[in-house]
Amino acid sequence: MKTDTNQIPLILYENDIQEYCERCLVDRNIPFFHVPDSFWRWVYKNTSTGIRCWLFKVFGSLPDMMIFFPINDRFSLMVNVELKKPGGYLRTGQKEAAEKMPWVTAKSPDAIEQIINEAQCLIERIKAV
């Protein structure tokens, strides 16, 4: 098989994947909750140790994206998605949190698309019942 040696591999960072996910959800009009990494950087630089520790204790183990797929006018399916760059891994606190509430990890735009499509198919099956 012949390969093109002039091709440069695309390097994805977690921020790129977060931006793609947000854009994808906004374009599809799917509600979500996301605390951007820039907020955590601001907290780290601008708050006292006590406030910083409290915020990280309460919110630090939340997944990157909480995506809401409406079932009807009263209920939604919430999909918890932790976004990582390719080769990235869950921190210890994230692993512990993932044991308490289900979530999936996405490391590429294709994985995000797959999660959204799978959730939408599930919603259609639920509505059909």
pLDDT in tens, the chain (129 residues): 455 556 665 788 888 899 999 999 999 999 999 988 788 889 989 999 999 999 988 887 789 999 999 999 999 999 999 999 998 888 888 888 888 888 999 999 999 999 999 999 999 999 898
pTM of the model: 0.82
Distance CA 101, CA 63 (A): 10
Paired tokens of 74: 């009263």
Strand blocks (E) in 4-127: 32-34, 65-70, 76-83, 104-106
Q: List residues bridging with 109 in a β-sheet.
A: none
Dist CA 25 CA 64 (whole Å): 14
Q: Going from the N-terminus, what domains does the chain have, and what CATH number goes with each?
A: 14-128 (3.40.1350.10)
